[in-house]
Amino acid sequence: MLSEKYRHIVIEGPIGVGKTSLARLIAQRFKAELLLERPEDNPFLEKFYQDTARHALPTQLFFLFQRIGQLRDLAQRDLFETMVVSDFLLEKDRVFASLTLDEEELKLYQQIYRHQSPRSTAPDLVIYLQAPAHTLMERVQRRAKAYETAITENYLRDLNEAYSRFFYHYDHAPLLIVNTEHLNPVDHPEDLDLLLNQISAMKGRREFFNWSE
């Protein structure tokens, strides 16, 4: 069973791609523990989207310390007893940092990251969800979160490119790259079954799933 093969699964991808919704569905299907980002707790996030240059550093540091705390808690648990599904990798924090911080801020962020990030085992599987920027924009607008109203399609395009660069080099865990433009596992149970079957059938450390209607 998938829950025996993968005790810790991470769902990743840019804003609006559906990683949190998919993490919830997989956790529900396999009665796993859910470990989620909490962007609504970040008091700087809405200000960041309105004035990126001014609020990028506090926004980034808040997320960094939040994720570090969550992963330290996870490291103390017995993953042999409980399957865990989460919607973030700590390493991806640097994707946003490199995109939004200026040179001096990035140096400070990197120093803090090196000193504070916990040593933890890699996930058993990372699922990287992809979608074009215009699709991400449609999904962001559809969910209508107040702190996301200032997000632009250009920002999502830049974010997509940054994620692609990051996962091109990622090799810490088995990686399944999924094109979600025509795959909707959140709203269509049959698409979720297709994805779970693809996960169960994985044999290599890096595979692609590109479903077209």
Catalytic residues: 87
* Lookup: tokens for 204: 């290599």
CA angle 72, 73, 78 (to 5 degrees): 110
> Residue 42's closest CA among 27, 60, 24?
60
Strand order in the sheet with 33-35: 33-35, 84-86, 8-12, 125-130, 175-179, 206-210
Q: What is the spatial distance between Cα 42 and Cα 58, in angstroms, rounded to a whole number?
A: 9
**Backbone phi, then psi, for 150, in 5-degree steps?**
-90, 0
DSSP assignment of 47-62 equals HHHHSHHHHHHHHHHH
Answer whether 20's CB lies under 8 Å from 36's CB: yes
